[in-house]
Structures are given as structure tokens and as C-alpha cells.
Amino acid sequence: MYEYEPTIYHPQRSSQSLHQDFTVQCEKMDIPSLSYLPTEVQLINDAYNLVIDAMLGPDADWANIKEPYPGILVTLKQIKIPIASVDVPSGWDVEEASEDGINPEVLISLTAPKKCARGFSGKHFLAGRFLPYDIQKKYELNLPDYPGTDCLLEL
């Protein structure tokens, strides 16, 4: 797939049709899916070049998250390969960074950077130029202009 060889680990299958459709799409594209995440960190380091962290989303309350997610977080914090987090790194609160969470090399903010991204020191990208101007104005968002038809911008 575009010269990449992704593998998906999805610990709990969702009943939402959108998630089911994505699963079917991945299966039809012969993208392998792991049934479990190896706890032997070196296996992950040896098998992959990058981990995309898109575990739960920005509204996750990590103080009340149930297994398997806390165990996954422990494993991700130990790996040596780069991590790219989508929107809010796992283990962080949307309002602020957390030492209890992972420390990604890359952060891809969706729509607008969240408050927790203020102290992020790695590569930071903004993706998704689909927010209508009236919403940007309502919430006083000062989003950068995307060049041309690009949908991704390095901040």
C-alpha cells in the first residue's frame, strides 16, 4: 500500500458501522491485523519502523480506562522505534501533556492543535483543512493557511 507495509492492532472491535467498514477495507487490501500486541518490546522494535498511536481519542479519561489499554500504554512507553500520535498522545489529557503518557516523536493534530500540544517539542503537523470558517471564527481559532490543496501542514 503506497510502498508501506502496515500492520494493524485493534484490541477491541467496534460495533460502529464506520469502524467495521474500515476493518473490511483493510482486510480487502490484505493489510494484516494482530490479534494481540506482543509484550516483548524487542519484537515490536525488530518488526516495525514506526508505530501510529491512535488508541482512544482526545476525550479518553485515562484515570478510568480499562484493560487492555493500560497494558498497551506500558508497552508503547518502552519501545525504541518512533511513535507518531494522532491528535492527543495516549495517556495525555487533552488540556495538558502528561509524563504518564507516551512521548511521541511526531504529533499529528486533527482540525486544530489541542492545548496539550503547547509543550510538545517533536515534529508537529496539522491535518484536516475541513473546518468551516464560521466555526473557526466562533471558537476564535487562528489556523494557518494550507499551501495549495495540501491537507497537511508542518507547524
pLDDT single digits (tens) 66-101:
999 999 999 999 999 999 999 999 999 999 888 889
- In CATH, the architecture of 37-154 is 3-Layer(aba) Sandwich (3.40)
Q: Where does the pLDDT of residue 4 fall: very low under 50, low under 70, confident under 90, or very high at 90 and above?
A: confident
Cα 91–76–101 angle (5° rounding)? Answer: 20
Please state the domain extents for the chain. Answer: 37-154
* pLDDT at residue number 1: 61
pLDDT class of 27 with cuts at 50, 70, 90: very high
Rounded to two decimals, the pTM is 0.89
The whole-angstrom separation of Cα 52 and Cα 82 is 9
Closest by CA position to 52, among listed 97, 95, 121, 102: 102
The predicted-structure confidence for 111-124, as pLDDT tens digits, reads as follows: 999 999 998 999 99
Q: Mean of the per-residue pLDDT values for the chain?
A: 92
> Does 48 have pLDDT greater than 90?
yes
Q: Which residue has the higher pLDDT, 42 or 133?
A: 42
In this prediction, residue 15 has a pLDDT band, given cuts at 50, 70 and 90, of confident
11 closest CA partner among 60, 69, 92, 50 = 69
